[in-house]
Amino acid sequence: MSVTRRLVPGPLNEYATDEQVLRDILGGDPDHELLDFAAGAGGSHRLLAEFSLGLVEEGLVKEHNGTVQLAEPRIPRRVLAFVKRRLGDLSTNCQHFLKVAAVLGRSFMLEDVARMLDRLGFYLATGQDAANIVEGSQGVTVAEDRDGDLYFSCTLPNLIVGTVGNGKGLDFVEENLTRLGCREAREPGENARRLAVIAAATVLCGELSLLAAQTNPGELM
């Protein structure tokens, strides 16, 4: 049968396990599939509580002989609304940090995040959409020996920039784009292409400088 009883959750016990939280809210012992699904809450009892309440509200669990089972392995809308609300309360910088961290995965260095966020200045100065910093910060640097010569390249496959449209009418943006030579009379798209090349060239110089410093003792601080 489906779990449809009215739930009035009390204070959460910070020392409780996921299984205990689920049992207290759902009124039965969660099976292994439900426990595995609930592990996505990452140990957050508040998120787990919203998850459990959402399961009941949307009829996504059923009870049989005291055991609560998943009727449908779907994240409840209540959880999505809760996460969206909590993220909306964060500062803009913190939201950018989380976006970058999500791209890097569960394990990352804070220095990696800092480097990616530092590129936000270029986006804001040229009137770009700051939300694209995550995709635009992904890249591949290659250094190889070609017949005794050093071949060095940097590829930014998801760099999204433009020189027309929203955000480009601000005075300081207009001035910066003009200084970069991205306000010339060219074929459609060529100014944006120039801006992308400038961004990639800047990254290339930074990467080359960093690798060069690593080869000389005492230069990298």
One pLDDT digit (tens) per residue for the chain, 221 residues: 445 454 444 554 554 688 888 888 888 899 999 999 888 888 788 888 899 999 999 999 998 888 999 898 888 999 989 988 888 887 776 776 676 666 555 555 555 555 555 667 788 888 888 777 777 777 888 888 888 888 888 888 888 899 998 888 888 899 999 999 999 999 999 999 999 999 888 888 888 887 777 777 776 65
The pair of three-digit structure tokens given for residue 115, joined into one six-digit string: 């480097």
Query: Which pLDDT value is given to residue 221?
Result: 56
Instruction: Give the integer Cα–Cα distance in Å for 221 and 214.
Output: 10
Number of structural domains the chain divides into: 2
The pair of three-digit structure tokens given for residue 81, joined into one six-digit string: 């609304």
Domain of 60, in residue numbers: 18-84
pTM score over 0.85:
no
Domain for residue 5, yes or no? no
Residue 139 sits in the same domain as residue 190: yes
Of 69, 84, 99, at which residue does a domain stop?
84
Residue 60 sits in the same domain as residue 130: no
Q: What is the CATH number of the domain that holds 129?
A: 3.90.770.10
Residue 123 sits in the same domain as residue 37: no
Domain for residue 4, yes or no? no
- What secondary structure letter does DSSP report for 61? E
Domain for residue 113, yes or no? yes
